[in-house]
């Protein structure tokens, strides 16, 4: 189904393979840094079992208000809208939630909250690679995920597992952040590398994803977090604050996947509005990464990162729809009768689904198909089943 607000916000999951690496601190600081840069930012504290964002942003636990249309009004702190399990339950209650309830709460946090017009929605995930991460990654059009790690070997191995999980569910990895990377002496400014150095960079290189930056180990980060004032506000000149700002800028700027078309977008074909900007550079991108889109009377033109160009007629795309209304879910046999699809059928709208698929609405009103880049790319050279 076509999303309620398909053009936004950009949803970014902040993840880590294990607890205590500073994921929530990173989330709180980059959210405030983005808000300071003029973006409209929301944070979902999806760390249901250990919500810590309200404390870090100085939000007192109290029941949130409801808007006239029965949506939850998020808290506002340091220019950032926040919703957290800590605001809905007593401290210990989250620990007893089971998987299906967690999924329900997460859906509520994303769909039933009065977010207004957001540019970015950051999701502070619980640590690990379990149920919640999968629920989120599969159920929501995440623009991508960021992995936070400390420089130790064991932490990096776990981060690698997190990266692989996100890849399996087609969530693009926006990059790796190395936290607690070297200690800056407050007296003399000398940086001491208490743990190994540069592990985050190495893992980013190994997995072919961006390295977003290093945040030094800084006692101010802890004090500010405990006081409810993130370090980007309380000590804006500190090296840690500078690092958070640089990471926030890189994430805000990275509104397009490496080598891919700009997302999110909603392109209204008849009005010609909202057409996605083509990719900036495609050298690093996999071949089936979509680098530009065009549409004319003969149909949709897909430009792929490997330089190939593919043309698909609007009606052929409608017939290729694999949604549950058009294909039998068990046998994959086509249910849709081609005779009922008008010959002059047109695509009316195309929108991005995460960074891995397109949604399309047609002039017959159908809009429930999801066309993954992989599936579209695989249609090259195939005889279409048109009649
Ligand atoms: N760069 C840093 N320098 C010093 N201390 C830090 C830094 N980043 C985080 N910390 C501290 O490390 C502790 C753990 O941080 P945080 O709660 O953000 O981790 P987390 O990965 O979100 O943990 P969990 O997933 O278990 O909630 C906190 O006390 C925090 O203040």
- List, in sequence order, the alpha helices (H) in the chain: 23-36, 53-56, 99-111, 131-139, 153-168, 199-207, 219-227, 231-234, 239-253, 314-319, 373-378
- Confirm or reject: Cβ of 240 under 6 Å from ligand 1: yes
The residues facing 146 across adjacent strands are 14, 175
Q: Which of 13, 20, 180, 228 to mutate to test the pocket of ligand 1 (most atoms within 8 A of CB)?
A: 20
Of residues 188, 261, 183, the one with CA closest to residue 221: 183
Residue nearest to atom 19 of ligand 1 (CA): 22
Q: In the numeric block, which tokens belong to residue 108? A: 């509520």
- 99 annotated among ligand-binding-site residues: no
Return the pLDDT at 226: 79
**What is the rounded CA–CA span in Å between residue 166 and residue 208?**
14
pLDDT band at 4 (very low <50, low <70, confident <90, very high): very low
What is the arithmetic mean of pLDDT over 3-27? 77
> Angle, nearest 10°, between helix axes 219-227 and 23-36?
80
Going from the Cα of 48 to the center of ligand 1, the distance in angstroms, rounded, reads: 16
The ligand 1 atom nearest the CA atom of 215: 1
ipTM confidence: 0.96
- 22 annotated among ligand-binding-site residues: yes
What are 188-242's pLDDT values in tens digits? 766 666 656 667 777 777 767 778 888 988 878 877 777 889 999 999 988 899 9
The angle subtended at Cα 158 by Cα 154 and Cα 161, nearest 5°, is 150
Residue nearest to atom 3 of ligand 1 (CA): 217
Between 306 and 197, name the one with better pLDDT.
306
Return the pLDDT at 165: 75
pLDDT band at 256 (very low <50, low <70, confident <90, very high): very low
Return the pLDDT at 255: 43
- Confirm or reject: Cβ of 223 under 6 Å from ligand 1: no
- Confirm or reject: Cβ of 215 under 6 Å from ligand 1: yes
For tokens 């089943």, what's the residue?
385
Residues in the chain: 387
The ligand 1 atom nearest the CA atom of 226: 31
Which residue segments constitute the domains of the chain, with CATH numbers given?
10-253 (3.40.50.300), 266-378 (3.30.2020.30)
**What is the rounded CA–CA span in Å between residue 114 and residue 220?**
33
Return the pLDDT at 42: 95
Going from the Cα of 25 to the center of ligand 1, the distance in angstroms, rounded, reads: 6
DSSP string across 105-152 = HHHHHHHSB---S-SEEEEEPPSSSSHHHHHHHHHS---EEEEEE-SS
**What is the rounded CA–CA span in Å between residue 210 and residue 254?**
10
Return the pLDDT at 2: 40
pTM (2 d.p.): 0.67
């Amino acid at each position: 189904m076509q999303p309620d607000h398909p053009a936004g916000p950009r949803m970014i999951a902040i993840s880590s393979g294990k607890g205590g690496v500073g994921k929530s601190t990173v989330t709180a600081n980059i959210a405030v840094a983005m808000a300071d840069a003029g973006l409209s930012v929301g944070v979902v504290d999806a760390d249901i079992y250990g919500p810590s964002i309200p404390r870090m942003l100085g939000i007192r636990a109290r029941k949130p208000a409801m808007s006239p249309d029965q949506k939850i009004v998020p808290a506002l702190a340091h220019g950032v809208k926040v919703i957290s399990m800590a605001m809905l339950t007593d401290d210990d209650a989250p620990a007893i939630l089971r998987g299906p309830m967690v999924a329900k709460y997460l859906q509520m946090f994303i769909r039933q909250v009065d977010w207004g017009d957001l540019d970015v929605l950051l999701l502070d995930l619980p640590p690990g690679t379990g149920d919640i991460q999968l629920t989120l990654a599969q159920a929501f059009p995440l623009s991508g995920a960021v992995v936070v790690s400390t420089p130790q070997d064991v932490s990096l191995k776990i981060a690698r597992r997190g990266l692989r999980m996100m890849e399996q569910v087609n969530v693009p990895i926006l990059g790796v952040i190395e936290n607690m990377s070297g200690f800056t002496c407050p007296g003399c400014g000398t940086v001491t590398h208490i743990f190994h150095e540069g592990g985050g960079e190495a893992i980013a290189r190994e997995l072919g994803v961006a390295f977003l930056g290093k945040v030094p180990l800084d006692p101010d980060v802890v004090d500010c977090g405990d006081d409810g004032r993130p370090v980007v506000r309380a000590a804006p000149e500190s090296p840690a604050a500078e690092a958070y700002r640089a990471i926030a800028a890189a994430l805000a700027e990275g509104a397009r996947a490496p080598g891919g078309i700009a997302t999110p977008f909603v392109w209204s074909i008849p009005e010609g509005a909202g057409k996605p900007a083509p990719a900036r550079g495609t050298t690093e991108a996999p071949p089936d990464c979509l680098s530009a889109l065009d549409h004319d009377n003969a149909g949709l033109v897909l430009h792929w990162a490997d330089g190939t160009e593919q043309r698909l007629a609007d009606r052929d795309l409608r017939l290729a729809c694999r949604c549950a209304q058009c294909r039998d879910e068990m046998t994959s046999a086509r249910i849709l009768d081609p005779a009922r699809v008008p010959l002059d059928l047109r695509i009316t709208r195309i929108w991005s689904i995460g960074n891995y698929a397109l949604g399309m609405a047609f002039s017959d009103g159908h809009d429930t198909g999801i066309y993954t880049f992989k599936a579209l790319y695989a249609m090259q050279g195939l005889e279409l089943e048109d009649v």
